Amino acid sequence: MRTNLSAAFQIAAVYVGTVVGAGFATGREIVEFFSRFGFIGLVSILMSGYIFIFLGAKLMLISARIQATSYQELNEYLFGRMIGSAINILMLFMLLGVCAVMLSGAGAVFEEQIGLSKYTGIFITIALSIIVMVLGTKGIFAVNSFVVPMMIAFSFLLLLITMRLPNFSEQILYIPFAEDGWKSVVAPFSYAALNLSLAQAVLVPIATEINHEKTIKWGGILGGAALTIILLSSHLTLVMLPQLESYEIPMAVIMKTFASSLFWVYVFIIYGEIFTSVIGNVFGIERQVRKYVAIPSIVTVCFIFIICFFISLINYGTLLSYLYPLFGYISIIFIVLLWMKPFEKPL
């Protein structure tokens, strides 16, 4: 069984694109979970990276082996039918909440960086998402295959720029005081758990659609490794920013400060990453709703966006600070069961 490298890279791109959403691309999520803890945050990122590589690949392999078409079937396999049904309802609310954070993040990019209203950014994002959703998985593959390599390239570029600063080594090793320092201990687990539990909405149906074990395995490994690299490079850049917790979009502030000539290109990439996560989450929700309600996909998608729009009117930073850690703690049980679950027979 030969590995289809092209398909493996596409899976990896979708994996990265689904995880690298509003909080990740803007840097706000990385600050919340890692960078505000300094050197301890760096160690936590390495631990998260291992979880992304190992459990990301395992999640997709199990999905393909049981031929799961949605995260509902995977959760029922992991938790049992009764508990799995309750988890799926919770997952639906989590996906809606995160999708709202993505829309709010898109609005924040337009408001803070472009100078247009938050509503303009949200409505443009919704309109573009509906167009891509009409194209299905081909549209999701195409968008991620374009945006993700650019995100990785710019992460390295920013790292190279900040490495030349005189106090770079001191800042990496510095451990600032944090009143909630205990969160740094659970951060690698809650962060990976949050993102893996949400990413399953896209990764489960795609793994089953590919249905080729070695390709799926390498897609998970490459995607997890790419996420680790982006996390590391973003963290090493963010720790160089004074008062990093005070910004809605800290990565854009760093780009404007250290590489202003490329600022607008980077804003476009940040928006592109937010956009990929919006379509990934809506795709997963639509697949789930389809199992319960027999209505056209476009009607379901529009209804999802109406709900997310009203939630997204709350301030972006506030939404992320409260919802993401909460969802992360809830999701830890998911990765524990995923880790413990034995593999089914090979494909």
Tell me the per-residue pLDDT of 168-209, one tens digit each, with 9 for 90 and over: 777 777 777 777 777 788 888 888 888 888 788 778 888 888
The per-residue pLDDT for 345 is 56
User: What is the arithmetic mean of pLDDT over 25-42?
Assistant: 81
CA 281 to chain centre: 9
Residue 35: closest CA among 322, 258, 232, 267:
232
Q: What is the mean pLDDT of the chain?
A: 80
Please write the tens of the pLDDT for every residue from 112-161.
778 888 888 889 988 888 887 777 666 666 766 777 787 778 778 878 88
Q: Is 249 left (phi over 0), alpha (psi -120 to 50) or beta?
A: beta
CA 1 to chain centre: 30
pLDDT at 323 over 80: no
Please write the tens of the pLDDT for every residue from 222-247.
999 988 988 888 888 888 877 776 77
DSSP string, 126-187: HHHHHHHHHHTHHHHHHHHHHHHHHHHHHHHHHHHHHHTSTTHHHHHH-----TTTTHHHHH
Full set of structural domains in the chain with CATH = 5-340 (1.20.1740.10)
Q: pTM higher than 0.85, yes or no? A: no
pLDDT at 53 over 70: yes
Measure the CA dihedral 299/327/156/116, to 10°. Answer: 50
d(CA 110, CA 315): 14
CA 275 to chain centre: 11
pLDDT band at 47 (very low <50, low <70, confident <90, very high): very high
